[in-house]
Amino acid sequence: MTLAALLIVLLAIVTTLLVRSGELRFWHVIIVGLLGVYLDLVHWADPIIYAVTWLIQGLTHTT
């Protein structure tokens, strides 16, 4: 794994723990923002956006 990938994994773990804590403070929001920036830098953001969009459309699809 590259250094950027390790940083993303670390930020993702920290973000998950912060969101699960139930309250987000200002510095928590900065860490979440950094995760988004790093995901975009390594081009992981597009597949995540497509997967979330697909999941939401699948859950909200009405026939």
Q: What is the pLDDT of residue 27?
A: 84
Q: Say if residues 42 and 5 touch (Cβ distance below 8 Å).
A: yes
DSSP letter for 22, please. S
Range of the domain at 32: 3-60
How many structural domains are present in the chain?
1
- Rounded to two decimals, the pTM is 0.53
Q: What is the pLDDT of residue 37?
A: 82
> Helix 45-60 crosses helix 26-41 at what angle (to 10 degrees)?
110
Position 23, amino acid: E
Residues 16-57: pLDDT tens digits? Answer: 888 888 777 888 778 778 888 877 777 777 887 888 888 888
14 three-state secondary structure = helix
> Could you tell me which of 7, 11, 4, 49 has the C-alpha nearest to residue 30?
11
